[in-house]
Amino acid sequence: MTHDIDTSLPENTLFDLEQLAQGCQVSREWIIERVQSGLLWHDGTLSGDPASWSFDSQSFIRIKRIMTIERDFECNAELASLVADMIEEIEMLRAKLHVIDPHAHRKNAES
């Protein structure tokens, strides 16, 4: 499995449901099911109408990651989401560590 998800999207990029489904090459239903299950998040509006939802670039990356995990490991959406959560947490911790010690990554690689 590759962890190389295209992260070159600007942070302020917003997608509606159609754009997100098309960009991630999944069905609208795939996204709606995962939002309703609490595995994906939209802009937080209270509207239950999926046509009014908007998603940011982090949602795009998360969808690509979850669908890759589901496919590669033939697992259910909940497990794929948990793995995606852990990957996101590791990325956040590495970023924080890099602020504290910019050479920490090299030190770990040399060990």
Residue 15 has pLDDT above 90, yes or no: yes
**Confidence (pLDDT) at 45:** 61
pLDDT per residue as tens digits for the range 32-44: 999 999 999 877 6
**Confidence (pLDDT) at 11:** 73
Mean of per-residue pLDDT scores for the chain: 86
How many helices (H) and strands (E) the chain has is answered by 5, 2
Q: What average pLDDT does range 99-109 have in this prediction?
A: 75
Domains and CATH numbers, the chain: 14-110 (1.10.1660.10)
15 phi and psi angles, rounded to 5 deg? -125, 145
